[in-house]
Amino acid sequence: MNADSVNCVCKVLVICILIISSIFDIKRKVVPMWLLGTGVIVSACGCLVMITIGDKSIYQSLIMIIPAAAIFVMNILKKKAIGVGDGYMLIIMSGLMSLKCYEISIAMAVIFSFLVSAYLICFKKIGKKNVIPFIPFLAAGSFVGIIAV
């Protein structure tokens, strides 16, 4: 199996996991642990394969875990600052994406989230205290990141 086919399989897996997680996040405001656990296992396997074939370095993999670690630390310091599921989702994405794709995905997710939140607050569709699921924005950002890379 060559690097291009591994990349393609990993991209399809990450989009599938993000779409399924987005549905749970929107409908139930929580992503089931079985889904997150399965995603982390799939991500770890994908990451090991990418490292083995030389498509990703261990250093890149460790760098890509930093945003997820930041979310976990924020969650410990201030309850409900951001969902733990978002941190797990970033771990899943980090194992199945290249560094460039991951960076673009997170940046686009933050931009999409900001724009939608600003719109909803400005037009009084929601209050400032309302919680908006972030995983759908990660899915949209990942779609853009995958297309861009």
Segment 40-51 shows an average pLDDT of 94
Look at residue 131 in the predicted model and tell me its pLDDT: 83
- Helix 84-96, helix 33-52: angle, nearest 10: 30
Q: What is the pLDDT of residues 50-88, one digit of tens each?
A: 999 988 999 999 999 999 998 888 888 876 667 889 999
Look at residue 81 in the predicted model and tell me its pLDDT: 63
Look at residue 103 in the predicted model and tell me its pLDDT: 95
Q: pTM to 2 decimals?
A: 0.91
Write down the domain spans for the chain. Answer: 3-148
Q: Which one-letter amino acid corresponds to residue 119?
A: Y
Q: What is the pLDDT of residues 87-145, one digit of tens each?
A: 999 999 999 999 999 999 999 999 999 999 999 988 888 877 788 899 999 999 999 99
